């Protein structure tokens, strides 16, 4: 009710940029940092922008409901972090019909180019490749490893797997991925899956996790099994959240590929351009970088998330 009222007020005044954002949920530290970035920008720029925020609890049907609701309320721009890649055609077509541009934030959707305005986010295939190279260095290019995958059907999971697996296959014939399973990007499931990997596989030398949260769960499982994460089993993951920097500084993780979640300002700046009828690039690419354990202690105080 409150959301509806604020949207109407903004619409009536016609000045504010009204953005409806359909967030995935709260599955990871990365996701929380992105949400905070969006909400902080909106709060600090309340004279110019109005944010309608929906948390979908990791369910696509809830995201679709939120988008339909935003269309009904006549927002200027819809922002969406699509939990999975497929199944968006119909609701995006409805937004298009209503003349509301859709901005994809941090994950891709598999739809034709005319159904969305732009994708703001990382090259996940490239992230996977970088992670594979780091893993190879840590292992002296040989050994058995396991993979913790993100949410099934999410572009960030599919592409991080493709990039990593392809790079291993192409360049490191003595590294073998002996098991690969989803941990849904959460710490709890990362731990659970790692426990079962440790039970059914001997000699695991490395873990590649599609995000830091799952890696942090795996680290717990490894410790409980009486092994040393970071030494006996090398840990490489993606995101760059504070928790993994702490683990690296403590010698329990080895490498993270940073994926920037602080996308709030860019989301609203892009939305403002779209409202003004300006053109924007189809892909506004984030720049990612590699952080290894030896850098962790030094950069930790300056980490923003």
What residue ranges bind ligand GYE (CB under 6 A)? Answer: 27-28, 30-31, 106-107, 156, 185, 211, 213, 238-239, 259
Residue 228 Cβ vs ligand GYE, minimum distance, rounded to whole Å: 25
Structure tokens at 41: 């920008």
For residues 206 and 236, the answer to whether their CB atoms sit within 8 Å is yes
Residue 181 Cβ vs ligand GYE, minimum distance, rounded to whole Å: 17
Q: Which is nearer to ligand GYE, 182 or 205 (CB)?
A: 182
Structure tokens at 5: 């009222």
Q: Which is nearer to ligand GYE, 50 or 239 (CB)?
A: 239
C-alpha torsion 60→61→67→72, nearest 10: 180
Q: Which is nearer to ligand GYE, 105 or 274 (CB)?
A: 105
Residue 6 Cβ vs ligand GYE, minimum distance, rounded to whole Å: 28
Q: Which is nearer to ligand GYE, 186 or 270 (CB)?
A: 186
For residues 262 and 33, the answer to whether their CB atoms sit within 8 Å is yes
Residue 27 Cβ vs ligand GYE, minimum distance, rounded to whole Å: 5
Nearest alpha carbon to residue 21 among 5, 42, 46: 42
Residue 229 Cβ vs ligand GYE, minimum distance, rounded to whole Å: 19
Q: Which is nearer to ligand GYE, 107 or 234 (CB)?
A: 107
Q: Which is nearer to ligand GYE, 149 or 239 (CB)?
A: 239
Residue 54 Cβ vs ligand GYE, minimum distance, rounded to whole Å: 17
């Amino acid at each position: 009710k409150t959301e509806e009222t604020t949207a109407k007020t903004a619409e009536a005044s016609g000045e504010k940029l009204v953005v409806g954002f359909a967030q995935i949920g709260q599955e990871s530290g990365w996701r929380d940092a992105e949400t905070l970035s969006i909400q902080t920008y909106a709060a600090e720029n309340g004279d110019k922008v109005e944010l309608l925020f929906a948390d979908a609890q990791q369910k696509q049907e809830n995201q679709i409901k939120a988008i339909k609701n935003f269309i009904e309320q006549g927002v200027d721009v819809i922002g969406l972090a699509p939990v999975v890649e497929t199944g968006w055609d119909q609701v995006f077509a409805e937004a298009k019909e209503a003349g509301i541009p859709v901005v994809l934030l941090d994950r891709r959707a598999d739809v034709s180019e005319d159904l969305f305005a732009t994708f703001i986010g990382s090259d996940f295939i490239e992230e996977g490749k970088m992670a594979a190279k780091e893993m190879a260095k840590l292992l002296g290019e040989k050994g058995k490893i396991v993979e913790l995958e993100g949410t099934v059907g999410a572009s960030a999971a599919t592409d991080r797997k493709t990039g990593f697996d392809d790079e291993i296959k192409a360049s490191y014939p003595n590294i073998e991925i002996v098991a690969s399973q989803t941990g849904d990007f959460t710490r709890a499931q990362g731990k659970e899956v790692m426990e079962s990997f440790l039970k059914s596989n001997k000699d695991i030398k490395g873990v590649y996790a599609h995000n830091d949260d799952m890696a942090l769960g795996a680290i717990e499982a490894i410790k409980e099994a009486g092994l040393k994460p970071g030494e006996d089993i090398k840990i490489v993951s993606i995101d760059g959240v504070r928790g993994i920097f702490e683990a690296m500084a403590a010698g329990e993780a080895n490498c993270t590929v940073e994926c920037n979640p602080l996308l709030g300002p860019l989301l609203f700046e892009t939305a403002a351009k779209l409202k003004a009828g300006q053109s924007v690039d189809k892909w506004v690419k984030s720049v990612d970088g590699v952080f290894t354990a030896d850098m962790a202690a030094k950069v930790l105080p300056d980490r923003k998330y």
